[in-house]
Amino acid sequence: MRRYLVVAHQTLASPELLSALRDRLDRGACSFHLLVPFIPAGTGVSWVEGDARIEAAEHLEEARLRLLGEGLAVDGEVGDSNPVLAVGDVLIREGDDAFDEIIVSTLPLGISRWVHLDVPSRLRKATSTPVDHVVAVHAPA
């Protein structure tokens, strides 16, 4: 069974990501591990990591339940605020060959912090696992 690592936060509920996951399921039996990096929140330099992790965990649980309802085998975890480090942590724990593909879901160029930080390219350089970049048109409400 193929296994996919899905890295997303604001775009977890996007139709583009759901379409990408359904496409993988159409190729054969598979499971998905959602990795939701927490997003530092607050004004200026004051933010509480615990609050950001709670928000990420809530996004994760909503997405997990929705995807289970779509018939997808899915589990997940909250990761480091830096998505590249978050993926690295998962790969260290699970092994470099634990996933058949990494799917990174971002907002479009111009508004995506992850695209600005070149996360998809940095992941391609950091691992031998294929990386697919899914761009959501906008963050769902």
* Domains identified in the chain and CATH numbers: 1-31+97-141 (3.40.50.620)
Arithmetic mean of pLDDT, 118-130? 96
Task: Please give the torsion angle defined by the CA atoms of residues 131, 127, 12 and 40, in that order, rounded to the nearest 10 degrees.
Answer: -140
Q: Is pLDDT at 138 greater than 80 in this prediction? A: no
Residue-wise burial string across 22-46, b where 16 or more C-beta atoms lie within 10 A, e elsewhere: eebbeeeebebbbbbbbeeeeeeee
Whether this prediction's pTM lies above 0.85 is answered by yes
pLDDT band, residue 110 (cuts 50/70/90) = confident
pLDDT digits (tens, 9 = 90+) for 27-53: 999 999 999 999 876 545 545 667 888
Whole-number mean pLDDT of the chain?
91
Q: What is the DSSP letter of 43?
A: B
Bridge partner residues of 12 (DSSP) = none
* Residue 133 confidence (pLDDT): 97
